[in-house]
């Protein structure tokens, strides 16, 4: 199949593009290349994929660019991942999140609809628009609540999750109103290669590697359900191939951990793979800092429906997944050094604005 992937230079997007090409599909990757989109993440695709791979630098908000991209490349399905995705950034500046996640999704839906309506009957029936979203739209779970599933009501708390919730509703409305064959997926926290160093896992690895304080928000008691990004990429392809239009699929790693436990796990892997001088422990770098405003306590996904309908289940063993991830950052210094030497600074994550910071005892 020929897929149009939006946001294919981002973390999940670049892993997905690689998965699609390896599975023998063709990809048109539409990415604006914001700070988190990185062509370096796609550099290894190699010549043998080049016939089936096209990169289009464009903003999904640009209606004419989207119209032209559809007309030129004639995709058979859309996998829509382009989004502003970092909760802390959305708290500092929500405008971009409304623009890309809400207006951008609207423009993309309109462009897709125009193209889809012009397709031949059989191609139109096969066509799918997979809208890739997050479990954060469901809000926060208590410690004893059942995990989120496809029927959990929406209750977003951050500007980021509210903008993603809005985009989910738009995507479903384009199905209900215009018949566009939309599938929505809501995933839990992803980790793995090529994750931009502003999210917890790469922050911990790179801070540890540089011997800098590792910032843990609040008491580190928040719980996330960690999904290896390759498992997520498999799920998205399965959703496009086997998912039913109008359906939602929750995709999770079945791998809940308190932040502080995950940080200790990563520090332990670092002790093993990249020991500090004089036998000091990486966990000595852990520093509890001021909490994120409106910090959701717990996310967890019940992926039974994806299992039953798509035949998907996460395959990566979490311990090997986290180890592989640390290994990847150790082996791919050039990738993250390039990011840190540009206009992005790891220092913005951490202690600068946290007068309440205290080092773990
Ligand atoms: O659940 C899916 C969501 O997971 C995605 O929709 C988001 O795009 C993605 O960013 C992620 O959201 P989180 O806010 O959970 O991810 P983040 O890596 O920013 O934080 C994970 C947890 O770790 C969260 O409880 C906040 C905490 N944290 C984060 C950072 C960056 C820290 O304690 N210290 C940190 O330095």
In a 3-state reduction of DSSP, which class is residue 136?
A: helix
> Does residue 7 lie in a domain region?
yes
pLDDT tens readout for residues 195-252: 999 999 999 999 999 999 999 999 999 999 999 999 999 999 999 999 999 999 999 9
The two beta strands, 286-289 and 248-251, are: unpaired
Q: How many domains does the chain contain in total? A: 1
> Does residue 32 lie in a domain region?
yes
Q: What is the pLDDT of residue 317?
A: 96
> Does residue 214 lie in a domain region?
no
> Does residue 280 lie in a domain region?
no
Q: How far apart are CA 33 and CA 52, in angstroms?
A: 20
> Does residue 166 lie in a domain region?
yes
Prediction pTM value: 0.95
Spell out which residues line ligand 1, taking CB within 6 angstroms.
85-87, 134-136, 188-189, 199-200, 203, 215-217, 222, 224, 259, 292, 299, 349
Integer angstrom CA distances of residue 332 from 22, 161, 339: 21, 31, 12
CATH of the domain at 158: 3.40.50.720
Domain residue limits at 138: 2-196+227-254+298-316
> Does residue 340 lie in a domain region?
no
Quick check: 55 pLDDT over 90?
yes
User: What is the number of residues in the chain?
Assistant: 361
In a 3-state reduction of DSSP, which class is residue 1?
A: coil
Q: What is the DSSP code string of 206-259? A: HHHHTT--EEEETTS--EEEEEEHHHHHHHHHHHHHHPPTT-EEEE--S-EEEH
> Does residue 326 lie in a domain region?
no
Centre of ligand 1 to C-alpha 237, Å, is: 25
> Does residue 349 lie in a domain region?
no
pLDDT tens readout for residues 1-36: 999 999 999 999 999 999 999 999 999 999 999 888
- Closest atom of ligand 1 to 164 CA is 6
Q: What is the DSSP code string of 280-330? A: --GGGGEEEEPPPTT---B--B--HHHHHHH-----S-HHHHHHHHHHHHH
Integer angstrom CA distances of residue 340 from 157, 196, 199: 30, 10, 14
């Amino acid at each position: 199949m020929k897929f149009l992937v939006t946001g294919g230079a981002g973390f999940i997007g670049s892993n997905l593009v690689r998965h699609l090409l390896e599975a023998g599909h063709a990809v048109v990757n539409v990415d604006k290349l914001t700070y988190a989109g990185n062509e370096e993440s796609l550099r290894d695709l190699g010549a043998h994929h080049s016939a089936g791979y096209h990169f289009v630098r464009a903003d999904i908000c640009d209606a004419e660019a989207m119209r032209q991209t559809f007309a030129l490349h004639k995709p058979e399905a859309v996998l829509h991942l382009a989004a502003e995705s970092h909760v802390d950034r959305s708290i500092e500046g929500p405008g971009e999140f409304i623009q890309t996640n809400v207006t951008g999704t609207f423009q993309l839906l309109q462009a897709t609809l125009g193209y889809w309506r012009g397709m031949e009957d059989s191609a139109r029936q096969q066509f799918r628009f997979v809208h890739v979203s997050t479990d954060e739209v469901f809000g926060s779970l208590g410690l004893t609540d059942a995990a989120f599933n496809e029927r959990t009501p929406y209750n977003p708390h951050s500007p980021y999750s509210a903008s993603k919730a809005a985009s989910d509703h738009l995507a479903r409305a384009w199905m209900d109103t215009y018949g566009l064959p939309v599938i929505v997926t809501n995933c839990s926290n992803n980790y793995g290669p090529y994750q931009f160093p502003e999210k917890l896992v790469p922050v911990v690895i790179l801070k540890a590697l540089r011997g800098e304080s590792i910032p843990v928000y609040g008491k580190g008691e928040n719980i996330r359900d960690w999904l290896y990004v390759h498992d997520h990429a498999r799920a998205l392809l399965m959703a496009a191939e086997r998912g039913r239009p109008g359906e939602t699929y929750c995709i999770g790693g079945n791998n809940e951990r308190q932040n502080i436990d995950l940080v200790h796990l990563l520090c332990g892997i670092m002790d093993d793979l990249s020991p500090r001088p004089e036998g000091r422990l990486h966990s000595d770098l852990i520093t509890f800092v001021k909490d994120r405003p409106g910090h959701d306590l717990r996310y967890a996904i019940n992926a039974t429906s994806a299992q039953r309908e798509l035949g998907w289940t996460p395959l990566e063993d979490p311990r090997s997944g986290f180890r592989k991830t640390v290994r990847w950052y150790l082996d791919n210094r050039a990738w993250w050094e390039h990011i840190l030497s540009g206009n992005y600074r790891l220092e913005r994550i951490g202690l600068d604005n946290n007068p309440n910071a205290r080092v773990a005892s």
